[in-house]
């Protein structure tokens, strides 16, 4: 099933709430809580916040991402590395040298403005 079709099916199973505790997310996604904690370490864009009680609080987009991850790993049989690569944004990142050169040029321009 294409990832786009999965999106509409998955969002129907998520209750209309703003925040979810880890137990709720575990039931929605259909994996144990320790798997969710492991996926948090493996996929940097799944980062639940912590409530004042130190409990994980997931947002709706976190739950949607976890459902995509589950689909890639369980249905489409991707590896963790393959799923991570598939879910990465497509925009090319500038190289470190390019970024440093841009910063250098901005600093030179700022110095000229101040002089």
Dihedral angle, C-alpha 46, 49, 50, 55, nearest 10 °:
-50
Q: Judge whether 71 and 6 are in contact, CB under 8 Å.
A: yes
Q: Judge whether 33 and 22 are in contact, CB under 8 Å.
A: yes
pLDDT at residue number 12: 64
The predicted model gives 88-115 an average pLDDT of 81
**Which residue blocks in the chain are alpha helix, DSSP H?**
3-13, 22-29, 33-42, 60-70, 80-87, 96-114
Helix or strand holding residue 20 (H, E): strand 19-21
Q: For residue 83, is pLDDT > 90?
A: yes
pLDDT digits (tens, 9 = 90+) for 12-62: 678 998 899 999 999 999 999 999 999 999 998 898 999 999 999 999 999
- Cross-strand partners of 58: 20
Provide the CATH topology of domain 3-114: Multidrug-efflux Transporter Regulator; Chain: A; Domain 2 (1.10.1660)
DSSP character at residue 16: S
This prediction has a pTM of 0.68
> When comparing pLDDT for 104 and 11, which is higher?
104
């Amino acid at each position: 099933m294409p990832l786009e079709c999965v999106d509409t099916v998955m969002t129907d199973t998520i209750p209309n709430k703003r925040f979810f505790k880890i137990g709720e997310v575990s039931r929605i996604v259909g994996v144990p809580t320790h798997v969710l904690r492991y996926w948090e370490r493996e996929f940097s864009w799944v980062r639940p916040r912590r409530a004042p009680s130190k409990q994980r609080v997931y947002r709706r987009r976190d739950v949607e991402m976890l459902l995509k991850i589950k689909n890639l790993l369980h249905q489409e049989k991707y590896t963790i590395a393959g799923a991570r690569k598939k879910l990465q944004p497509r925009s090319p990142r500038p190289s470190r040298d390019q970024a440093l050169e841009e910063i250098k040029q901005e600093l030179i321009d700022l110095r000229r403005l101040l002089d």
